[in-house]
Structure 1
Amino acid sequence: MPRSFSAAPRRETIAYRNQSLSYTLVFRSRRTIGFAVRPDGSVHISAPAGTSPEWVAQQVLKKADWIIKHQEAFANRPAPAPTRHFEAGSPHYYQGQPYQLRFAEARRATVTVEGDELIIATPAPLTSAQTEALLHTWYARQAGPLFAEALVRVWPRFTEFNLMRPTLSVRQMQTRWGSCTPRSARIRLSPELVRARPECLDYVLLHECCHLLVGDHSKAFYDLQTRLLPDWERWKQELNALPK
């Protein structure tokens, strides 16, 4: 078998349109040059052994627009949503408003909103996991009435289509805010949506209602969604910024 070749990485910089473009270069046993832009914006080049750094620089210049485009895309990504904590004083959201978590003692477990506090009262102290589970249960109890109110706000936008009014249900989901079965006009929404502003909830519900007309995420779907809710991207971004 031929021996593999891999030289130590080297740092290179070239000038492109009045700016510096830096990259890490490594020579390997390969036939073609490879380009990679990582989420931190760093550029990594794998070049065939036997080629020169000058030749690689020429290839980087040819690929510079592609590299910069990907660097900008990574730089413009929204910051990861903060992680929720379940200790006293931790912020938690309900209908878009932040509340501080406070614990109290009571004969039975209850969750109430008072002023700027979300109060969890229980007979005995809770672990973080137990607190999280109790909050999930409370969100689910609030969800039904809030989802019904959202449908009252959203559904008039679909009057022109003469559709069957959908049935809403609450379902915990790991990776989605909602789902729709067009055939039965059934829409399932995550109880976590009660943490967001009503406008965010309306966006998700409208999104699922649009699937009653267009089942996929094609251009036709987004054209319809934009016509019915022109600023939907704003609410999507706000929703995805909620602490996970």
Structure 2
Amino acid sequence: MPRSFSAAPRRETLAYQNQSLSYTLVFRSRRTIGFAVRPDGSVHISAPAGTSPEWVAQQVLKKADWILKHQETFARRPAPAPTRHFEAGSPHYYQGRAYPLRFAEARRPAVTLAGDELLMATPAPLTPAQAEALLHAWYARQAGPLFAESLLRVWPRFAEFNLTRPTLSVRQMRTRWGSCTPSAARIRLSPELVRARPECLDYVLLHECCHLLVGDHSKAFYDLQTRLLPDWEQWKAELNALPK
């Protein structure tokens, strides 16, 4: 098998529409030129060995609008949410407020809010996985009453539709904040929602209630959601920024 050719990467910059367009260029054993825009906005060009940087620059200018469009798309994406940790002092959220985690010894496991701290008391030291499981169980116990309060705030917005009031249940979900079965008027919500501000919880519940009227995520659905909660995008963004 012949040895492939790959020169050292080089940085190049072009002027395009009164702005600088920078990219990393590498020459390889290939027949066509390749363009890639990465999530961090960086541009990477793979060009056939034997072509000149000047020829590559001409191809980049032809592709400039495509490159800028992808950079803009990545720039609009929210930053990844931080990861939760389960050591003493690590912040954990409850109803939108961060509480540092504190461990204490006790005969029975318990999680409580103690002033400005989230107190986790156990007979023996916990591994991070055990602390996470104990905290999730505590969230689940708080969820039912908080979800009921949210429904009292949200449901009056649907009075005009003469709908059957939905029943709520708590269910741990990996990729969703909530789900709805319109035919049974049943809504399931993740206990993780208790970490967010009540306005974020109300947004998710209203979203699921909208599915009682529109089952999909069509334009009609979002028109309804926007009419009932004009600032829903703000609460969605805040919710998705919570540590994962």
With structure 2 as the length reference, what TM-score do the two structures score? 0.90
Offset of 1:129 from its aligned partner?
1.2
For residue 142 of structure 2, what is the aligned residue in structure 1?
142
Offset of 1:193 from its aligned partner?
0.4
For residue 176 of structure 1, what is the aligned residue in structure 2?
176
Deviation track 1:13-72 (CA, whole Å, cap 9, x = no partner) reads 211122221222344565654321001211122345565433332222122122122223
Q: Which amino acid aligns with 1:22?
A: S
For residue 123 of structure 2, what is the aligned residue in structure 1?
123
| Contact 2:210/2:221 (<8 A) preserved | yes
CA distance in structure 1 between the partners assigned to 2:92 and 2:12 by the alignment: 47
For residue 236 of structure 2, what is the aligned residue in structure 1?
236
Offset of 1:220 from its aligned partner?
1.6
> Are positions 1:106 and 2:106 aligned together?
yes
> CA distance change for structure 1 residues 61 and 182 in 2, over 3 Å: closer, same or farther?
same
Q: What is the RMSD computed on CA atoms of the aligned residues?
A: 2.1
Q: Which amino acid aligns with 1:13?
A: T
CA distance in structure 2 between the partners assigned to 1:29 and 1:220 by the alignment: 51
| Contact 2:6/2:29 (<8 A) preserved | no
| Contact 1:6/1:26 (<8 A) preserved | no
Offset of 1:110 from its aligned partner?
1.4
For residue 16 of structure 2, what is the aligned residue in structure 1?
16
Offset of 1:73 from its aligned partner?
2.8
Deviation track 1:139-189 (CA, whole Å, cap 9, x = no partner) reads 000101110111111111111122221111111111111111122121111
Flag structure 2 segments of 5+ consecutive residues without an equivalent.
none
| Contact 2:169/2:187 (<8 A) preserved | yes
> Are positions 1:84 and 2:84 aligned together?
yes
For residue 200 of structure 2, what is the aligned residue in structure 1?
200
| Contact 1:4/1:29 (<8 A) preserved | no
CA distance in structure 2 between the partners assigned to 1:88 and 1:11 by the alignment: 45
CA distance in structure 1 between the partners assigned to 2:215 and 2:3 by the alignment: 50
What percent of counterpart residues are identical?
87
